[in-house]
Amino acid sequence: MATCIVAVLTVVPALVFTPQTDAQLAALNRMVTTVNEADAAGYARLYAPDAIITIYGTGELKGRAAIQAHEVELLRQFPGARLAFSNVWQDGRHVVVRYAINARTPNGLTMGHDGLLFLRFDTSGAIIEEHRYQDSLTPMAQLGALRATAFRAPPVLPARLTAHVAAGSTEEQANGSVVTAMLAAMHGGDASAARGFFAVDATIDDVFLPQPFIARDAAASWIRTWTDASPSLELNVTTLLTIGDFVLVESVTSGSLLRSLGLVPASRRAFEVRRGFIVRLGKGKITSLVAFMNGKELAESGGSWPLK
């Protein structure tokens, strides 16, 4: 049997866990176990019979049978894959998970990526809906399928899972307002106003790009990267969860790609992509932001796929 990676749960102080949150955490730990033990059937049983997984930039898996078949194929392509979760955010039946996965092909090539899951559980404790944000271009570059000189290495798998539970506080609501206003300013063309919502030493990591933004004014560099590539950006928030110091966002971003962005070349054509965000705040300012999207979806939507 394959070695199983089981995350050690770290509980954020002063949070109240319930039978529902405990059951969700148990399901997530079981998800890690089933992947790491190559148990595709056990993995699929975590989902409701009519569950739908949407993998942005790839497609949909409808129903438990399709989910199991997809997992079987992934395990065939990448035997010995290792999955781990770093953080889980819980708000009733809505759960968000940040994960990392590393794998090796049968001929010894290694790949891995960071990703984000937006999950919805049904009343029985099964997953009924999943939105999966992962970048297909990073593993392709790691495996030599793209002509890329700069790309991310497979991530280090986290050893701990930290759980955060929504409290329904006024502070959480205020954090949501800050993030909403920042995104509106950024995509409304007011870069200066958007920067004002960030702490001076904020960290920014747009996971589909080859490198994070680590300069002192990382927020300005990140905003400029996007607005230079697509001056007419528009963003519509589809999900916003405020949980502790964090705001979790799902969105649809559209524009025209006038300059290259990461591994995706300029096409000067309209695009539309789905993006997920983990935003952390302190004292009313954004202290960190991690963004997820699939570069393949950007390339396909903008007419640059397949990449040459």
- What's the pLDDT tens digit per position in 38-58? 999 999 999 999 999 999 999
* 198: three-class secondary structure by DSSP: strand
- Asked if omega into 306 is within 30° of 0 (cis), the reply is yes
Q: CB neighbours of 91 closer than 8 A, spacing ≥ 6?
A: 165, 166, 241, 243
The domains located in the chain, with CATH, are: 8-165 (3.10.450.50), 170-301 (3.10.450.50)
- Low-confidence spans in the chain with pLDDT less than 70: 1-17
Task: Indicate if the alpha-carbon torsion angle 256, 262, 266, 267 is positive or negative.
Answer: negative
Structure tokens at 263: 């591994």
- What's the pLDDT tens digit per position in 246-259? 999 999 999 999 99
Structure tokens at 211: 């490198």
- What's the pLDDT tens digit per position in 125-177? 999 999 999 999 999 999 999 988 899 999 999 999 999 999 999 999 999 99
Against a cut of 0.85, is the pTM above it? Answer: yes
pLDDT at 109: 93
* 272: three-class secondary structure by DSSP: strand
